[in-house]
Amino acid sequence: MKRTKVAELLQGTALGQDVLLKGWVRTKRGNKFVNFIAVNDGSTINTIQVVADVQQFNEESLKDITTGACIAVTGTLVESQGKGQSVEIQAKNIEVLGLADVETYPLQKKGHSLEFLREIAHLRPRTNTFGAVFRIRHAMSYAVHKFFNDKGFFYVQTPIITGSDAEGAGQMFRVTTLDVANPPKTETGEIDFTQDFFGKSTNLTVSGQLEGEVAAMALGEIYTFGPTFRAENSNTTRHLAEFWMIEPEMAFSDLTDNMDLAEEFLKYLVMYALNNCKDDLQFLNDMYDKELLNRLNFVVTNSFERLEYTQAVEILKTAKQKFEFPVEWGTDLQSEHERYLVEKHFKKPVILTNYPKHIKAFYMKQNEDGKTVRAMDVLFPGIGEIIGGSQREENYEKLSARIKEMGIHEEELWWYLELRKFGTAPHAGFGLGFERLILFITGMGNIRDVIPFPRFPKSAEF
Amino acid sequence: MKRTKVAELLQGTALGQDVLLKGWVRTKRGNKFVNFIAVNDGSTINTIQVVADVQQFNEESLKDITTGACIAVTGTLVESQGKGQSVEIQAKNIEVLGLADVETYPLQKKGHSLEFLREIAHLRPRTNTFGAVFRIRHAMSYAVHKFFNDKGFFYVQTPIITGSDAEGAGQMFRVTTLDVANPPKTETGEIDFTQDFFGKSTNLTVSGQLEGEVAAMALGEIYTFGPTFRAENSNTTRHLAEFWMIEPEMAFSDLTDNMDLAEEFLKYLVMYALNNCKDDLQFLNDMYDKELLNRLNFVVTNSFERLEYTQAVEILKTAKQKFEFPVEWGTDLQSEHERYLVEKHFKKPVILTNYPKHIKAFYMKQNEDGKTVRAMDVLFPGIGEIIGGSQREENYEKLSARIKEMGIHEEELWWYLELRKFGTAPHAGFGLGFERLILFITGMGNIRDVIPFPRFPKSAEF
């Protein structure tokens, strides 16, 4: 017999039929006549109840059915007499595939702290919480691809190893095959990177945007979805050294198109989660954050507030709230400012535009005022910045001048500049930090809990 | 007016209406009365013809419309009088968004070698060939996600940076933030990796399988799709230092289930390409490989031949063909052997199983004969090995003994071993090299031409 997943069994379409269930024991309870075994197989947060007649099975064999054990059950799917489930399996045969020793298996019935579960990241997907988070993570990944595919965007896998250090988004990890204990040296005593694997110094990418622009200037509308890296010593609940990013890039688009896409995209993702992850979201709402579903529904039903950085600074300067960091035109906004705008002032997601150019990247399109660039940040409740983007500078002379002004090695960007030399066009795009999105959708508080194996300072376990 | 993509314009539904076209000029021809401009915007391999009345536009303005220039055209979509297209745009207004200097723009009308185009990877997506390859690459990426999502598999992003060097699939790149010119040393004079970013020596992953197994033993059926790395000095048409891999992993599955999934998956992908990439495949078939479509159709309509390694060795030993490398039971098969089996002997895809254990990885399930493991390789015409997989050893003692026997650091794999300690279950999975798949689907001859920015020894440009 072929096994049927729990998610399908619970739909009850096989009622009255013999079925084969395989999964892990969550709990076992009962008396000397009957045992009730709750089994989960990861297909859903819900368990199915297996009813085992103690007389039929010898008591000895039921002993091995402990929390965490893996079992295969054949039996009849019947309507449940008990509360909390509509169907259950009346067991005919139970085979223990894998034991879980009661003394040593860490996931016994009692609740565990998220901190403790982080130490056993190889087992935490077996808990209700992490099962829910990782199923939602899957659903969001799929929704990303479906959204863009349906719109005619092409997925581009941009390189992870880069010879450029000009991406400008943060500190980088070196990638090397040189013997660090005894690296080859040049005549002048410097490391001889011509002998490294790629014949030069290489790093892990901080963004696929620049290569994404290459693709957009040929295929029209594209997106990336891949891992990016920051070698920053940030031990916060919102930063990872390795995280996934989604970066759409659109030829023939301006800042308004970009804002429209960002808002449509985020609403689509939230709606997809609401429609496809009901049970998992309900669990997280009940267990962690009673406002989660309200907040998700709020995002899909309200327009994002759009205003300029300059207007936001005015609002913040006249705010009654005291801020730790003072706000003046030209300063970068801190998390406290972003959250004030979103959570207190507008009480909805906010898109800020036209930031001062000196706090933004070299590639952003310069406004006529000479002071600002066509940047946009999307700010979300609880999260702060969830998307950062801009219209790109498509004018060769302006871009080249800005690169020089900022002291970036222009020769590394020859290919990027050539996009402006040959058939240039207005274009725009943004980056969405995937784990920030998952934080928002799940309501979890720590970014280390929404990625299967988090990488952060002093930690690359598993 | 909103722009309409060429793919949509060519469907002709807007016939008789005014439209806005934006894209890049492929060719311009004509006479003193009328100009015909072929425009492509990346949405399809096809161009749309723009007809410009020379009298209406002054000749001077039409001069800038050269190959590679970016233009915006408003005009009426009309039935075409000429051959080769059903509709065309009668231009009312043409704006040049970006020039492309005839003297310096590298992609003039004449054909270019694939080697030359590799040097200008930032412009090659604008050619017919690479536009086709990258649109197909997108379609295959999407099909991978759709296939698994529809089957209830969950996508898991496994880590890129790993503290383990026990993955066993090849040489690794070091990831570090230490100052290579002056690294910290321990008292005994060795590099002090406790001062590195992650507090220990770290590398780029060669496979997400081990972490994928973690997820499968909780969520049931999962897959990975991400970049993997090999620091091997392989300058071949089939190897990259950075490539993408898809690795499904299924709890409660054996080698037969694994073969079934692999065959169904590959046929699904080929069928998806045939249904969704008709124009691009036809182009590649006509220009590069007249057998391409035949080969693709052949794969979806024929069962893969399944046989054991031992049987394959017998066939090869009695083959009339002379091989460069002799075959004996226990030797790893070379590309020439694999291709003989697929292309000459069976004339269809082949799945080989039950390889000698000493030529396969430590995690494969050991057969009762004590000599072989439940491995499988899927061999494809022209490509050789496209998929490698196995049932995994789920028995703690056997796995632990094999790890010791092979001299692998068991302490690095504590978490992997614990999967066998707590609720173990039979499980199986495989890896599909995504670029090998794209080679097969597109018929291209060099793996450097099926990834946007290839990484190989001495090359990490762009």
User: How much is the ipTM here?
Assistant: 0.97
Q: Could you give the count of Cα atoms lying within 13 Å of A127 in the half-sphere of its Cβ?
A: 25
| Lookup: tokens for A148 | 């863009």
Q: Read off the tokens for B155.
A: 């996508």
Q: Please state at what angle helix B255-276 crosses helix B278-287, rounded to 10 degrees.
A: 90
Residues 368-407 of A with CB under 8 A from B: 394
What does the block give as tokens for B448? 């450097």
- On whether any CB of chain B is under 8 Å from the CB of A173, the answer is yes
The structure tokens listed for A459 are 């930690």
**DSSP-derived 3-state class of residue A108:** coil
What pLDDT shows up at residue B110? Answer: 75
Q: Closest to B219 (Cβ–Cβ): which among A121, A131, A183?
A: A131
Task: Give the pLDDT of residue B102.
Answer: 94
Which of 58-97 (A) contact B at CB < 8 A?
68-70, 72, 97
Residues of chain B contacting A244 with CB distance shorter than 8 Å? 157
Strand partners, B53: B34
Q: What kind and span of H or E run contains A214?
A: helix A209-219
Please check whether residue B435 touches A, CB under 8 A.
no
Task: Tell me the pairing of strands A48-53 and A87-98.
Answer: parallel
**pLDDT at res. B180:** 93
Torsion of CA B194, B198, B204, B206, to 10 degrees: 90
Phi, then psi, of A307 in degrees rounded to 5: -150, 165
Question: Is residue B161 within 8 Å of residue A454, measured between CB atoms?
Answer: no
The stretch A202-213 carries a mean pLDDT of 96
Q: CB of B416 within 8 Å of any CB in chain A?
A: yes
Q: Quick one: what percent of chain B has pLDDT higher than 90?
A: 93
Model confidence over B291-302: pLDDT tens digits?
999 999 999 999
Rg of chain A (C-alpha set) = 27
| pLDDT at residue B284, as a whole number | 98
Q: Which residue has the tokens 């020793």?
A: A101
Q: According to the model, what pLDDT value does residue B429 have?
A: 98
Locate all alpha helices (DSSP H) within B53-106, ordered by sequence: 59-63
- Which residues, in sequence order, are CB contacts of A283 under 8 Å at separation 6+? A45, A128, A129, A132
In this structure, the dihedral spanned by the alpha carbons of residues A280, A284, A285 and A290, taken in order and rounded to 10 degrees, is 180
Which residues does B16 contact at the CB level (< 8 Å), separation at least 6? B76, B77, B78
Give tens-digit pLDDT for B38-75: 999 999 999 999 999 999 987 778 999 999 999 999 99
* pLDDT for the residue B166: 63
CB contact under 8 A, A161 and B394: no
At A167, the pLDDT band (50, 70, 90 cuts) reads low
If we measure between CA atoms, which residue out of A210, A258, A266, A260 comes closest to residue A429? Answer: A258
Give dist(CA B74, CA B299) in Å, integer. Answer: 45
pLDDT-derived band at A58 (thresholds 50, 70, 90) equals: confident
Each residue of A346-360: b (16+ CB within 10 Å) or e? bebbbbbbbbbbeeb
Confidence of residue A111 (pLDDT cuts 50, 70, 90): confident
- Cβ contact, residue pair A155, B135, below 8 Å: no
Query: What six digits make up the tokens of A384?
Result: 């702060």
> Would you place residue B115 in the very low, low, confident or very high pLDDT band (cuts 50, 70, 90)?
very high
Work out the mean pLDDT of chain A and round it to a whole number: 95
Place of tokens 């692998």: B408
**Distance, CA of B40 to CA of B7 (rounded, Å):** 9
β-pairing, A174-176 vs B174-176, is antiparallel
Q: pLDDT digit string (tens) for B173-230? A: 999 999 999 999 999 999 999 999 999 999 999 999 999 999 999 999 999 999 999 9
- In B, minimum Cα distance to A42 occurs at B219
Query: For residue B61, which phi and psi values (nearest 5 degrees)?
Result: -70, -30
**Token reading at B216:** 């499968």
Tens-place pLDDT, residues A294-353: 999 999 999 999 999 999 999 999 999 999 999 999 999 999 999 999 999 999 999 999
Q: Could you tell me if A298 and A443 are in contact, meaning their C-beta atoms sit under 8 angstroms apart?
A: no
Residue A151 has pLDDT above 90, yes or no: yes
Residue B167: what pLDDT? 59
All structural domains of chain A, each given as residue ranges with its CATH number in brackets, are 3-98 (2.40.50.140), 126-170+206-449 (3.30.930.10)
Residues B400-428 have a mean pLDDT of: 95
Mutation to test the B interface, candidates A453, A456, A458, most B Cβ within 10 Å: A453
Lowest mean pLDDT among A110-119, A123-132, A161-170: A161-170
pLDDT in tens, B304-354: 999 999 999 999 999 999 999 999 999 999 999 999 999 999 999 999 999
Closest CA to A13 of A68, A79, A64, A100: A79
Element (H, E) at A366: none
Tell me the C-alpha distance between A126 and A107, whole Å: 8
Q: Which helix (H) or strand (E) holds B222?
A: strand B221-229
| Segment B302-313, tens digit of pLDDT | 999 999 999 999
Query: What's the pLDDT score for residue A267?
Result: 98
Query: Distance of alpha carbon B376 from its chain centroid, rounded?
Result: 20
pLDDT band at A60 (very low <50, low <70, confident <90, very high): confident
